[in-house]
């Protein structure tokens, strides 16, 4: 049974706090912070003419009257996994459980002087999760992950002229994560992987601080240029892991497992996540009826090279997992048509190459290059209030692990998403 002890420690190293890895990748970086902007494919950094500018380009609030916006997006994601040899093998297939996520956004803007304006936004810059069925072959990598990140973002914006404004602000992230996965160990009696238990990790809300800056320039002839930057934000997570043991029918094997894993206890686990910085450049033209904008958004995912896992009371279970993410650009295009003073229509598209190398593609984050198309409408409910509605469809390129998965879990992921959002805008 000495062999069982060795295999057990190897299998458990790093099993507790892998959830933060799921927060990374285009699939977990959210831009659904305004229905009209999302209907434009997320190309809004040089338009920025309603309170949702507090996310897309805060300098835009310097040209606006006081007001607020609030809304919600409903997001569904479907994913299937087709196995490959050697494990879990050709012919194996699984489908992710259905979930609905609803990131929220709320903004308020006001004037201090005619040229100095302020505003505050609350939105979810990262989030979502994955949920695979209990019988899923990859349950030893993950069963369920849920990540929530809120950004409380106050800004000051100053208008130097009718054509130029700048903004600076603070990004305060407030986040927690929740993860469940099975613990698998090779049973020396059967030489098969046995499900010896389950670990559940939950962290309370914890925070991190960053900053943002932006400018918006109106170049004449209906052309505008917007540039914004948000710094990286680091959050140090600390939580407790709950371990539950499952009997295998082999009492001596169960006893060895119980001697190595803190079943019935809640040991402390620590890790840190460095959420990436974001830079956006947008160029727009707006005429009497038509408008068009193109944005490039660069996410500095290369800050996420590895994920250290620390269990102070159980150092044998601590580890460092290499991730090796790369910086990536997202390309966004939006077109708007003002049908009448009461109704305008939006159409958009995006191309979002994944920052995730093939070695890091797992059921925690089956990320891939993706494209999206969007459509929406804005309705003037009164002279001061608008209702925005936007829909976005996202299709991921099929992503194979190409036989290099470090966990030996090989196959192809196929993913798509549907996003429907509503934003109510009111100007005082």
Is the pLDDT reported for residue 92 higher than 90? yes
Closest CA to 76 of 135, 20, 131: 131
* Cβ–Cβ < 8 Å for 181, 140: yes
| DSSP E strand boundaries for 263-384 | 268-275, 278-286, 290-299, 306-309, 319-322, 328-338, 343-352, 370-380
CB atoms within 10 A of CB 290: 12
Is the pLDDT reported for residue 129 higher than 90? no
Cα gap 11→222, rounded to integer Å: 61
Please indicate whether residue 345 or residue 260 has the higher confidence score (pLDDT): 345
**Which residues form the domain of 121?**
35-137+148-172+207-235+273-427
pLDDT at 26: 54
CA angle 14, 16, 20 (to 5 degrees): 90
Is the pLDDT reported for residue 164 higher than 80? yes
pLDDT in tens, 14-73: 344 333 333 333 547 888 899 999 999 999 999 999 999 999 999 999 999 999 999 999
Structure tokens at 380: 């003037």
* Cβ–Cβ < 8 Å for 303, 284: no
pLDDT tier at 312 (50, 70, 90 boundaries)? Answer: confident
Cα gap 210→409, rounded to integer Å: 37
pLDDT tier at 4 (50, 70, 90 boundaries)? Answer: very low
Q: Residue range 317-330: average pLDDT?
A: 83
Please indicate whether residue 294 or residue 2 has the higher confidence score (pLDDT): 294
How, if at all, do strands 206-220 and 164-187 pair?
Answer: antiparallel
Instruction: Tell me if 165 is assigned to some domain.
Output: yes
What percentage of the chain reaches a pLDDT higher than 70?
A: 94
Is the pLDDT reported for residue 244 higher than 60? yes
What's the half-sphere exposure (Cβ side, CA atoms, 13 Å) at 206? 18
User: What letter does residue 5 receive in the DSSP assignment?
Assistant: H
Three-state DSSP state, 212: strand
Cα gap 346→376, rounded to integer Å: 5
Three-state DSSP state, 10: helix
* Cβ–Cβ < 8 Å for 271, 311: no
Q: Mention every residue, 6+ apart, whose C-beta is less than 8 A from residue 190.
A: none
Cα gap 3→206, rounded to integer Å: 40
Cα gap 152→29, rounded to integer Å: 16
Total structural domains in the chain? 1
Instruction: Tell me if 346 is assigned to some domain.
Output: yes
User: What letter does residue 353 receive in the DSSP assignment?
Assistant: -
Instruction: Tell me if 81 is assigned to some domain.
Output: yes
* Cβ–Cβ < 8 Å for 146, 201: no
Instruction: Tell me if 373 is assigned to some domain.
Output: yes
Closest CA to 415 of 139, 96, 180: 96
pLDDT tier at 305 (50, 70, 90 boundaries)? Answer: confident
Three-state DSSP state, 266: coil
* Helix/strand number for the chain, H first, E second: 4, 23
pLDDT tier at 255 (50, 70, 90 boundaries)? Answer: very high
Is the pLDDT reported for residue 3 higher than 60? no
Instruction: Tell me if 288 is assigned to some domain.
Output: yes
Cα gap 318→206, rounded to integer Å: 21
Calculate the dihedral angle through the C-alpha atoms of 42, 413, 305, 102, rounding to the nearest 10 degrees.
Answer: 40
Locate tokens 């072959």: which residue?
137
Instruction: Tell me if 23 is assigned to some domain.
Output: no
pLDDT in tens, 364-397: 888 899 999 999 999 999 889 999 999 999 999 9
Domain CATH for 323: 2.40.160.60
Helix (H), strand (E) at residue 225: strand 223-230
pLDDT at 368: 93
Is the pLDDT reported for residue 251 higher than 60? yes
Q: Residue range 97-102: average pLDDT?
A: 89
Please indicate whether residue 20 or residue 145 has the higher confidence score (pLDDT): 145
C-alpha distance from residue 99 to each of 78, 131, 322, 364, 418 (Å): 9, 8, 29, 15, 11
Structure tokens at 11: 């299998």
Instruction: Tell me if 345 is assigned to some domain.
Output: yes
Locate tokens 């990320």: which residue?
367
Instruction: Tell me if 221 is assigned to some domain.
Output: yes
Is the pLDDT reported for residue 182 higher than 50? yes
Please indicate whether residue 16 or residue 210 has the higher confidence score (pLDDT): 210
Three-state DSSP state, 12: helix
């Amino acid at each position: 049974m000495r062999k069982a002890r060795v295999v057990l420690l190897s299998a458990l190293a790093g099993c507790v706090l892998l959830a933060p890895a799921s927060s990374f990748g285009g699939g977990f970086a959210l831009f659904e912070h305004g229905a009209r902007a999302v209907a434009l494919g997320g190309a809004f950094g040089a338009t920025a003419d309603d309170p949702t500018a507090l996310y897309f380009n805060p300098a835009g609030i310097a040209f606006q009257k006081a007001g607020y916006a609030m809304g919600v997006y409903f997001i569904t994601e479907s994913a299937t996994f087709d196995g490959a040899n050697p494990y879990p093998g050709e012919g194996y297939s699984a489908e992710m459980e259905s979930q609905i996520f609803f990131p929220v956004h709320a903004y308020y803007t006001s004037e201090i002087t005619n040229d100095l304006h302020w505003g505050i936004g609350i939105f979810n810059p990262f989030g979502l999760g994955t949920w695979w069925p209990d019988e899923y072959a990859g349950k030893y990598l993950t069963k369920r992950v849920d990540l929530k990140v809120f950004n409380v973002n106050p800004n000051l914006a100053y208008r130097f002229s009718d054509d130029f404004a700048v903004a600076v602000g603070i990004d305060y992230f407030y986040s927690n994560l929740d993860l469940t996965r099975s613990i698998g160990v090779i049973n020396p009696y059967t030489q098969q992987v046995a499900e010896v238990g389950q670990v559940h990790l939950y962290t309370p809300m914890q925070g991190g601080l960053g900053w943002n800056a932006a400018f918006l320039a109106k170049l004449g002839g209906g052309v505008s240029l917007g540039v914004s930057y948000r710094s990286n934000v680091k959050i140090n997570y600390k939580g407790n892991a709950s371990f539950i043991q499952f009997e295998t029918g082999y009492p001596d094997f169960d006893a060895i497992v119980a001697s190595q894993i803190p079943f019935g206890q809640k040991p402390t686990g620590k890790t840190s996540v460095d959420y990436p910085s974001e830079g956006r450049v947008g160029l727009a033209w707006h005429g009497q009826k038509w408008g068009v904008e193109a944005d490039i958004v660069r996410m500095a995912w290369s800050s996420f090279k590895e994920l250290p896992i620390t269990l102070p009371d159980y150092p044998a279970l601590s580890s460092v997992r290499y991730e090796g993410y790369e910086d990536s650009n997202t390309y966004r295009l939006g077109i708007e048509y003002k049908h009448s003073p009461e109704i305008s229509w939006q159409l958009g598209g995006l191309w979002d190459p994944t920052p995730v190398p093939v070695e890091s593609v797992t059921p925690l984050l089956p990320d891939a290059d993706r494209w999206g198309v969007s459509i929406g409408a804005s309705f003037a409910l009164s002279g001061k209030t608008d209702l925005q509605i936007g829909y976005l469809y996202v299709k991921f390129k099929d992503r194979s692990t190409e036989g290099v998965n470090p966990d030996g879990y090989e196959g192809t992921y196929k993913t798509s998403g549907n996003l429907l959002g509503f934003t109510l805008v009111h100007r005082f």
